[in-house]
Structure 1
Amino acid sequence: MPDRIPAVLILGTRGIPAAHGGFETFAERFARYLAVRGWCVGVYCQREVKRVGTRISSRVWNGIELITVEVGLKGPAATLAFDAFCAWDAARRGGVCLVLGYNGAAFLPYLRASGGRILTNMDGIEWRRPKWSRPIRAYFYVSEWIAAWSSHRLVADHPAIADHLATRRPRRAITTIPYGGDPPSDEIAPPPLGLEAGRYLVSIARIEPDNNILTIVEAFSRRPRGVRLVVLGTMCVHNRYHRAVEEAASPEVLFPGPIYEPDQVQALRIHALAYLHGHSVGGTNPSLVEALWAGNAVIAHANPFNRGTAGDAQFYFKDVDSCAVAIEQVLDEAEAVAHARAAARRRAEDFRWGDVLAAYEDEVRRVGGYPPAERVKVPFAEPIGATAGASG
């Protein structure tokens, strides 16, 4: 094979610098990692405008081409239009297309037919989320199949996701690479919001039924606890589920809304007595990985995704009763909490960004037909502050 500069295009996020969540954080980290290693890297970025001026433009940022697509729409229609123009533009550029999620899977057959080499991170099992209406769930179900068969290879971020994808494609087409995390910085700020270290529990998640926020709040609020429960995430008075969560809360529950300052989110984790994680659908959740790196004792919904990520040393629940029991264990059993904290730190070693990014580079090289990479430690940006106070 003649020598050529390896090239990758990253599709499926709203863009970088990261400001929205897990996929954007990964896209920024991976793009910067590859740029340092001599790759030609492009990342598609969505810009919603009242009137489209220049449909597609680009600029260079930290050695990465930011390909901005202007969309004169709002909401889901804007996302679909963005995905369509990204696929159209990527088909003309060449290189490997790393697609994050399958929301825009309808355009992948065109991309592949145009010669695109496609590696898709299939994310969670979106069509199982109860928050979606039946038509939307049907759309995601079909999109999952389209993405599975339009992509040259699939990435699962959790063994349970890989098992699910194996019902769509042969296992030889699937690789498992988890989400990454970082050790906490040496300088930790005091707890925000006037909280006292070790005197509160924290939940960081979107306030949605499949994240079991109502279950957590009801379990905590059954009786006075002598500590606070901090529930980060956007609350909307017009949302029926949000109202139910708020009505179920005791005076010891605090709803500060989302927090976007990384140092405050890190301090909130580090100083918490335990982290509550109610996610029931998905793979390796970024917020749970960050809790492990923070050395949190974890109270998590009992499902294969969470158990496979956090391990057996943590506390698990299935309903309000078992969640209340887990909370009482954390409040009453200091030795069990210390054991869970130590186990979390050990478990976090399985989710180092360096290993995750190197594994992704190997897969992109495989899909693109590039020669294997030399494994070296590459200096790149310090932890990126993109995780908002509500994740997954």
Structure 2
Amino acid sequence: MCTKMTEIEKQHVFIIGSKGIPARYGGFETFVEKLTLYQKSPDIQYHVSCLVDDNEKLRTFSHNGAKCFDIKGYNIGPAKAIFYDVESLKYCLAYIKSNKIQHPIIYVLACRIGPFIGYYKAKIEKLGGRLYVNPDGHEWKRAKWNALVRRYWRISEMLMVKYSDVLICDSKNIQKYIKTRYKKFNPNTTFIAYGSETTKSKLMDDDQKVVAWYQNKNVRPHEYYLVVGRFVPENNYETIIREFMRSNTDKDIVIITEIRNNPFYDKLKLATGFENDKRIKFVGTVYEQQLLTKIRENAYGYIHGHEVGGTNPSLLEALGSTDLNLLLDVGFNREVGEDGAIYWMKEDMSLAKLIDVADKMSPKETHELSTLARKRINDCYGWEYIIERYESIFFSYFIQRDEVTKNGNSTSSIKLQ
């Protein structure tokens, strides 16, 4: 844009569906953090919904230049996220109306509010806005949901696809799935992956913070395999632990995840008896990014068992910082890792044998894999490139809407591709 826009004229983008920023854990949270942190155009104004407990005081505040607003989340089971998204959407619509925001974009992360979206889509259109959706992964496949909840997620996904103006898929596999499964809706999709970095941690190996963490967790640098991710069944913790116990490695497996008040931990203990294997270490969470990056760098290898969803941020971070990566062989992971990783299947002894092979790999072999992995991240998943793609798509609506207004045509036919 040649001249700086006024506050009202800016392209306002309202982001709903993440737990908010500043980010701690979570793919969507990290994405929103980076999207706002590395923003290039001064003519985009981001608004970000932030989830808080029902006993917390609601705030509006600024972070990375984004206007953030708190929405309460109530402990009502699977409906908590649905309620949060709907309340966030209502807040955004009221803000847009009262502040006379022009051509707003509502960007919803994940397909949780499908049964309600037709009603709110009409309100968005009335305000001159558009609905963008990130369909995320296959929520209805997650093992934690019962049959009734899974059915809800299937229906919700279908309706979000039906009513969205643009679907931004973070995986080519997800994009293909959306275009094939919902062909009757002729969905307007585009592909933009999550971003990542290959920047080294600012912490040195002898930093007291690093040394203290290793001592406290009884872990030896470069003598452990690492797992980082949400503690849910579909990330295949049971398979990973069973297979690790069957391997001959003398290294540890360090699992960074939140297990407190999670019944899955007790089920896993009963199913595998892992507490009898001293190599298996659940070490809790690490929220400080520089320390987590250093732990990744010092791992002998990273084991990734995610099989539901699109491009996983934890996988991108591993490829950008850990030399040797052992990935579950599914389309989402192959798409990202390509030749920069080695792959295992869920069959008995597949991962166990791969760990034994990995233990015997030469420094030259691991260096070659590391070089390919980092090249993959730099070439296709760098944040600068990702941010440019997003800002281009957000401005496409502003520019094309301007042209449509001049020509007197309907905005409903606009395609961003």
Q: Secondary structure at the match of 1:312?
A: helix
- TM-superposed deviation, 1:120: 0.7
Given the superposition, is the C-alpha separation of residues 366 and 110 from structure 1 closer, same or farther in structure 2, using an over 3 Å criterion?
Answer: farther
What is the RMSD of the two structures over their aligned residues, measured on CA atoms? 2.6
Matches within 5 A, 1:237-386: 238-239=263-264, 240-244=266-270, 247-248=273-274, 250-319=277-346, 320-334=348-362, 335-349=364-378, 350-369=380-399
Query: How many angstroms apart in 1 are the aligned matches of 2:152 and 2:74?
Result: 23
The 2-side partners of 1:337 and 1:171 are apart by: 44
| Distance in 1 of aligned mates of 2:160 and 2:397 | 15
| Further displaced range: 245-254 or 175-184 | 245-254
1:16 Cα deviation after fit: 1.4
Distance 1:297 1:371, change over 3 A: farther
Residue 313 to residue 64, structure 1, CA distance change in 2 (3 Å) = closer
Residue 160 of structure 2 is matched in structure 1 by: 147
Q: Which amino acid aligns with 1:286?
A: P
1:200 aligns with 2:205: no
Could you tell me how far apart the structure 2 residues matched to 1:315 and 1:134 are?
A: 34
Ranges in structure 2 where 5+ consecutive residues have no aligned partner: 403-417
Where in structure 2 are the equivalents of 1:1-392 lying within 5 Å? 4-34=9-39, 37-50=42-55, 58-71=60-73, 73-92=75-94, 93=96, 94=101, 95-114=104-123, 115=125, 116-166=129-179, 167-169=181-183, 173-185=188-200, 187-190=202-205, 192-194=213-215, 195-236=219-260, 238-239=263-264, 240-244=266-270, 247-248=273-274, 250-319=277-346, 320-334=348-362, 335-349=364-378, 350-369=380-399
Match of 1:85, as an amino acid?
E
- Render the CA deviation track for 1:115-141: whole Å, top value 9, x for unaligned: 141111111111112222111111111
CA contact (8 A) 2:339 2:373 kept: no
Structure 1 residues 163 and 45, CA gap change in structure 2 (3 angstroms): same
Structure 2 length-normalised TM: 0.81
Question: Are the structure 2 counterparts of residues 122 and 63 from structure 1 closer, same or farther at C-alpha, using a change threshold of 3 Å?
Answer: same
Instruction: Give the corresponding residue for 2:410.
Output: none
How many angstroms apart in 1 are the aligned matches of 2:370 and 2:395? 37
Residue 147 of structure 1 and its aligned partner are, at CA, apart by 0.8
Report the Cα offset of residue 188 of structure 1.
Answer: 3.6
Pair 312,109 (structure 1): closer, same or farther in 2 beyond 3 Å: same
> Percent identity between the aligned chains?
26
Partners of 1:275 and 1:28 in 2: CA distance: 24
Q: Per-residue displacement from partner, 1:191-210 (whole Å, max 9, x unpaired)?
A: 64233332111111223221
**1:171 Cα shift?**
6.6
CA contact (8 A) 1:42 1:66 kept: yes
Shift of 1:228: 1.1
2 CA distance for matches of 1:295 and 1:61?
30
Match of 2:406 in 1: none
The 8 Å contact of residues 182 and 352 in structure 1, kept in 2 or not, is answered as yes
Report the Cα distance in structure 2 between the residues aligned to 1:85 and 1:253, rounded to whole angstroms: 42
Q: Is the 8 A contact 1:90 1:111 kept in 2?
A: no
CA 1:77–1:159: 2 relative to 1, 3 Å: closer
How far is the alpha carbon of 1:38 from its aligned partner? 2.6
After superposition, give the CA deviation of every residue in 1:255-312 in whole Å (9 maximum; x if it has no partner).
Answer: 1122212122111110111100011111110000001110431111111110111113
| Structure 1 position 110, deviation (Å) | 2.3
For the structure 1 residues 344 and 13, does the alpha-carbon distance in structure 2 shift closer, same or farther, using more than 3 Å as the test?
Answer: same
- Gaps of at least 5 residues in structure 1 are 373-392
**Is residue 153–residue 173 contact of structure 1 (8 Å, CA) maintained in 2?**
yes
**Runs ≥4 in structure 1, deviation > 6 angstroms?**
none
Shift of 1:371: 8.1
When normalised by structure 1's length, the TM-score is 0.86
Tell me how far 1:25 sits from its aligned partner: 1.5
Higher relative contact order (CA 8 A, sep 6+): 1
C-alpha displacement of 1:336: 3.1
